[in-house]
Amino acid sequence: MKKMILAALLAASFPAMADTYVQGHMRKDGTYVQPHYRTDPNPTRLDNYSTRGNVNPYTGQAGTKDPYDSGSSYGQSRRSTPCYGYGCKDD
Q: pLDDT tens, position by position, for the chain (91 residues)?
A: 666 555 555 555 444 456 889 999 999 999 999 998 888 888 888 888 889 999 989 889 999 999 887 665 554 444 455 555 555 554 4
pLDDT at 33: 95
- CA–CA separation, 86 and 60 (whole Å): 28
- CA–CA separation, 49 and 45 (whole Å): 9
6-28 core/surface letters (b: 16 or more CB in 10 A; e: else):
eeeeeeeeeeeeeeeeeeeeeee
pLDDT at 27: 96
Determine contact, residues 49/36, Cβ cutoff 8 Å.
Answer: no
The structure's pTM equals 0.47
Q: What angle do CA 53, 6, 61 make, to 5 degrees?
A: 25
